[in-house]
Amino acid sequence: MSSTASGTTSTSSGTWRNWAGNVTARPVREVTPASVDELSAAVRQAAEDGLRVKAVGTGHSFTAAAATDGVLIRPQLLTGIRGIDRDAMTVTVEAGTPLKRLNMALAREGLSLTNMGDIMEQTVSGATSTGTHGTGRESASIAVQIRGLELVTADGSVLTCSENGTAEERAVFAAARIGIGALGIVTAITFAVEPLFLLTAREEPMAFDRVLAEFDELWAENEHFEFYWFPHTGNTNTKRNNRSAGPEKPVPPLSGWFEDEFLSNGVFQVANWVGRAVPATVPTIARISSRALSARTYTDIPYKVFTSPRRVRFVEMEYAVPRAALADTLRELKAMVDRSPLRVSFPVEVRTAPADDITLSTASGRDSAYVAVHMFKGTPYRAYFTAAERIFTAHEGRPHWGKVHTRDADYLSGVYPRFGEFTALRDRLDPDRRFQNDYLRRVLGS
């Protein structure tokens, strides 16, 4: 192992695994740069050695987007807030900063992101590069909140871009907000922020048929609407988040622990162990699980409402379909599960996003609904995911870049109108494919 003043480079003899354990990689070496200069030097050295380069965050992607047999960049020393501009209402943060730390730091400053996903463990660059999103009528994607990016490109130079830059910088900005690691290694992100606000969450069970019948109304009447359908049942749990004038009324600590930790994580973990060992028990467990959580309403700051702990490990596939196609997609998914021998112990998550202008965003140019299917870690998932994917693609679905799917560049170029714009930019920024890996070769072409 060699070390610089503060970063480290090591010859890798180990295997890298993602959070779900379904992706592994054996890089030649790992680099943990402590500055942008060190990262640039690592990219230049990789080029001299003829090695590919990939950055990896916390491994929350279920695809091999970050896997490499070359140089693996670990950004955990590139963390923290560089600066807050209260006039522009922006915050600039180092790429390796976990969303959890960013959200907590912003709250201490009386600030918040407008929207976020439900998991806070990812790094800001990993989350945005793969298109992580929450749910919302007017906002959903974390990447849409980006106002500026800094990235190290294939020749080791540092490129900054924003919507106010030169024509080339604007083209990079349009694509690199969700760049899947194909255009360079993101080193810092500037996000739009707003004064800290309160959200009132209303969670309640609702019949599957009723949710679909009233979906347009539920979407229109709430700033943030989502629901979970439990396969093998006709039951869902719905969640509506809307801005509130207060007062703050958080979930009481004891009931919060009971519902969010004991039921949603502890009991759910045990139920999945039982279901994995004895698949015939899954429908019964699903019926019990779908009724375990009672209705509740609470008011708190955004990250305490939008996010929740996810300790039960799983593998996930998620597709964005046109919002108008959601009801048909879900009815087909339910019919498929009902008539199949599949036993699915994890609920199906449904969220929405408005159309945006990011080149390879799953909501690029169209109002979208997201349908996410999950299987407990260690349970065979291919039969379920294959059948679900057939339904999603029949509705011109776009797969989440960080979740399991089998699509390739031929398919993706047909569902993304600006696909060629992205690949042309990649040809300019990384002609030698320094940031290539097997996953990018499949989804973007050679």
pLDDT digits (tens, 9 = 90+) for 259-293: 665 456 566 666 666 667 777 777 777 777 767 66
Q: Which residues pair with 16 in a beta bridge?
A: 25
CA distance 44 to 423: 23
Distance separating alpha carbons of residues 331 and 340, to the nearest angstrom: 14
Identify the burial level of 167 via C-beta atoms within 10 angstroms of its C-beta, where 0-12 means exposed, 13-18 middle and 19 or more buried: exposed
Amino acid symbol at 262: F
Band the pLDDT of 3: cuts 50, 70, 90.
very low
From 37, 40, 8, 34, select the one nearest 152 (Cα to Cα).
40
The pLDDT value given to residue 103: 96
**What's the rounded Cα separation, in Å, for the pair 405 and 408?**
9
- Candidate from 32-36, 54-58, 412-416 with smallest mean pLDDT: 54-58
Closest-CA residue to 171 (of 138, 149, 141, 145): 149
Counting beta carbons within 10 angstroms of the beta carbon of residue 335, is it exposed (0 to 12), middle (13 to 18) or buried (19 or more)?
A: exposed
Note the maximum CA span of the chain: 62
| Contact assessment for residue 98 and residue 77, using Cβ atoms and an 8 Å cutoff | no
* Residue indicated by tokens 């480290």: 8
Amino acid identity of residue 19, one-letter, is W
Q: Is the pLDDT of residue 4 over 50?
A: no
Please give the pLDDT value at position 266: 61
Convert the pLDDT of each residue in 396-414 to its tens digit.
999 999 999 999 999 999 9
Q: Contact 74/105 with Cβ under 8 angstroms?
A: no
pTM listed for this prediction: 0.92
Q: What is the pLDDT of residue 290?
A: 66
Q: Quick: pLDDT tens for 173-228.
A: 999 999 999 999 999 999 999 999 999 999 999 999 999 999 999 999 999 999 99
Q: What is the DSSP letter of 38?
A: H
pLDDT of residue 6: 57
CB 15 within 8 A of CB 26: yes
Question: What pLDDT is recorded for position 1?
Answer: 47
- In 3D, which of 64, 50, 85, 55 has the Cα closest to residue 20? 64
- Asked if residue 247 has a cis previous peptide bond (ω within 30° of 0), the answer is yes
DSSP state string for 271-295: HHHHHHH-GGGHHHHHHHHHHHSPP
